[in-house]
Structure 1
Amino acid sequence: MSEEEAEKLLEKFDIVATQLPKMDSKDPVAKEIGAESGDIIKITRDSSTAGKSTAYRYVI
């Protein structure tokens, strides 16, 4: 996510980045997408019940 998108997300939920679920920067997916410590990534999955499911992770 861009810094602007991350700020809007954190403001929307009234949280700080470290309150998001964590993802290690050594995780294979984090390496593949070039995520670095401090980044927030958005994960979108297909869901049989909700159509689309969105999750966010804070890279440590």
Structure 2
Amino acid sequence: MKEKDITAREFKPLEHRMVPMHEILEKNDLEKTLSEYNINKEQMPKIHITDPVAVSIKAKVGDVVRITRMSQTAGKSIFYRLVIA
């Protein structure tokens, strides 16, 4: 039996059980978030444009991604990442 090569088009990282939900923030949500944390976009942690999930959600440089992680101990945790090149 031959091992099948998985191409980037076939790989769907968001379908993996260990990958949390990623979504691109809308402009009004971004403004609220920046105001709430009293920061600007450049102060946010970064995610590279070539990250498999960033590619999967079609993120563009300058977008901000909201990552929602679920944990049995901590419950729901939300993180933000600025997409960079």
Fold agreement, TM-score > 0.5: yes
Q: Which has the larger radius of gyration?
A: 2
Matched-pair identity in %: 47
Once the two structures are TM-superposed, the CA of residue 44 in structure 1 deviates from its matched residue by 0.4
Q: How many residues align?
A: 60
Q: Which residue of 2 aligns with 1:19?
A: 43
Gaps of 5+ in 2: 1-24
Aligned equivalent of 1:40, options 37, 50, 64: 64
Distance 1:17 1:47 in 2: 26
Q: Which runs of 5+ in 1 are unaligned?
A: none
Name the structure where helix makes up a greater proportion of residues: 1
Which residue is 2:18 aligned to?
none
2:55 aligns with one of 31, 34, 59: 31
How far apart are 1:48 and its partner, in Å? 2.2
Task: Provide the residue aligned with 2:28 in structure 1.
Answer: 4
Query: Post-superposition shift, 1:15?
Result: 0.2
The equivalent position to 2:79 in structure 1, one of 36, 55, 59, is 55
The residue matched to 2:73 in structure 1 has which SS?
A: coil
- Displaced runs of 4+ in structure 1, greater than 2 A? none
